[in-house]
Amino acid sequence: MLKGFGNFLLKELKELARDPKILLGMIVVPLVMFPVLGGIMGYAVQTAQEQAIKAALIIVDNDCGNWSSSFISFIESLGDVGFNLTVYKENEVELTSEKVLELLAKYNTTQILEIPRGFSENVTAHFNYPNVKAYVRFYGVLRGTSVFESVSASVVDALISMFNRRYAPDVLDSKKATVIKGEIKHGVDPAAVSGLLMSQSIAMPITVLILLMYAVQIAATSVAMEKEEKTLETLLTLPMDRLAILWGKLSSSIIVAAIGAVAYMAGYSYMLSSVMAGIPEGLNLDLAALGLVPSVFGYLLLGLTLFVTMLSALALAVIMSAFAEDIRSAQSFVSYIYPLVFLPSIALIYLDVNTMPFALKLVFYAIPFSHPVIASKAVIMGDYWTVIFGIVYVSAFTLVVMYAASRLFATEKILTAKLKFKGLKIRREKPAEESY
């Protein structure tokens, strides 16, 4: 067998466990990051459940018959079975596009259920002629691309299903319309649209994770390699401005970032076209016709957001790696950036930043690496000001980090800068001193 393997393995494990950079990066950070991520996802689920049982619904009764009154009474009685549904009633209102938007604004809700004329007559006829059905019309507002955006449409489906179980299996059905950017799209199911947008929006967080992790590792390794191989001293003695060294490393990283941003936009555009081409004709969903495909200006803003975000990550990786002694230390240091990339990217798959509480919204906006995901959803909804704000904010953050890096490279500290965890080292050395 392998003689001495057990003792050597134990020695290696002790050395790795004593390295505070590994302890923090591989053990402490995940132990903090995943509970926080779990809390965010739990909040998302709780929010969806509250939307499902505490919905506000406008019911427009244009039939004013016996069965329409029974249907409204049935909905109002659902509080006894756990549905805390707030109902606002309107009678005999012609639902033009302008009137729908007016009612939604008046009651500050996102869903309208219309009982059309002839509803009671059709319900009565159904018991003698089962082929006859009664219909209600549902108008739902598409607010964003979160995974729980389809909750409101699901609530209406549940109401219809419960009404059918009480009176007749197939007496009632629905015709749905979606309010998109202030326009009513008849025959479009809000749940189908939100599901399709959700499948697209997953691509952005995954891509951001891959690009940022790859880019920061390149930038960190570039600086750490110079220090580890002792070539940084040689570079600093050359007749060239020290800032030229910093800008040279950043410029090479910028080129990589630009190529990555262009490659992403090409892949993202191809993915959108592929998803749209694969939509069954029966669904009648043309995202371009619905205005849910980014414009050329939107693509430019999205690419610029991704570029400045990658640049901020590169600048931060360069200044952090300057405190490392070798490549392994640099990779450990930049791993502290990963929670700031993972948390917003994964959380924004499930949450829409516009529906968050104000304090939580500020936290996500303050994290520069969350803005590409926010921008990918904003450009679809035509919210360009949010994207522009993100570009300005991330650019300002990048300038601050780059200024700090330039100050570091302008002094001799670049050669001696080291990040020590003295408290951990003192506690580790005490037993050895006491043994003497």
Flag whether pLDDT at 432 surpasses 50: no
Question: For residue 425, what pLDDT is reported?
Answer: 45
Using alpha carbons, select from 382, 356, 386 the residue that is nearest to residue 40: 356
The CATH number that applies at residue 144 is 3.40.1710.10
Is residue 214 domain-shared with residue 105, that is, in the same domain?
Answer: no
Tokens of 315: 């600048």
Give the total number of structural domains in the chain.
2
The residue-averaged pLDDT of 216-235 equals 72
Flag whether pLDDT at 433 surpasses 50: no
Is residue 132 domain-shared with residue 80, that is, in the same domain?
Answer: yes
Greatest mean pLDDT among 115-119, 214-218, 221-225, 306-310: 115-119
Indicate the pLDDT class of residue 74, thresholds 50, 70 and 90.
Answer: confident
Strands 111-115 and 56-61: parallel
Alpha helices, DSSP H, located in 279-325: 296-321
Name the percent of the chain in helix, strand, coil, to the closest 5: 70, 10, 20
Torsion sign over Cα 111, 117, 118, 124: positive
Among candidate residues 195, 220, 251, the one where a domain is terminated:
195
Indicate the pLDDT class of residue 271, thresholds 50, 70 and 90.
Answer: low
Mean pLDDT of all residues belonging to the chain: 75
For tokens 């952005």, the residue is 204
The C-alpha atoms of residue 142 and residue 111 are separated, in whole angstroms, by 10
Among candidate residues 149, 165, 195, the one where a domain is terminated:
195
The residue-averaged pLDDT of 210-218 equals 75
The C-alpha atoms of residue 377 and residue 380 are separated, in whole angstroms, by 5
The C-alpha atoms of residue 153 and residue 191 are separated, in whole angstroms, by 6
Tokens of 86: 């707030």
Q: Name residues whose C-beta falls within 8 Å of residue 149's C-beta, 6 or more positions apart in sequence.
A: 142, 143, 190, 194, 197, 198, 352
CA 407 to chain centre: 35
Is residue 292 domain-shared with residue 225, that is, in the same domain?
Answer: yes
Flag whether pLDDT at 393 surpasses 90: yes
Is residue 178 domain-shared with residue 280, that is, in the same domain?
Answer: no
Question: For residue 436, what pLDDT is reported?
Answer: 40
> pLDDT, tens digit, for every residue of 315-374?
788 777 777 777 777 777 777 777 788 788 777 877 778 777 788 888 889 999 888 888
Contact 77, 87 (CB under 8 A): no
Least confident of 143-147, 281-285, 301-305, 340-344: 281-285
| Cross-strand partners of 91 | 61
Question: For residue 152, what pLDDT is reported?
Answer: 59
Question: Percent of the chain having pLDDT more than 90?
Answer: 5
Contact 415, 325 (CB under 8 A): no
Give residue 422's domain range: 202-427
Tokens of 391: 């570009």
Q: How far apart are the first and last CA of the chain?
A: 36
Indicate the pLDDT class of residue 150, thresholds 50, 70 and 90.
Answer: low
Flag whether pLDDT at 277 surpasses 70: no
Contact 419, 323 (CB under 8 A): yes
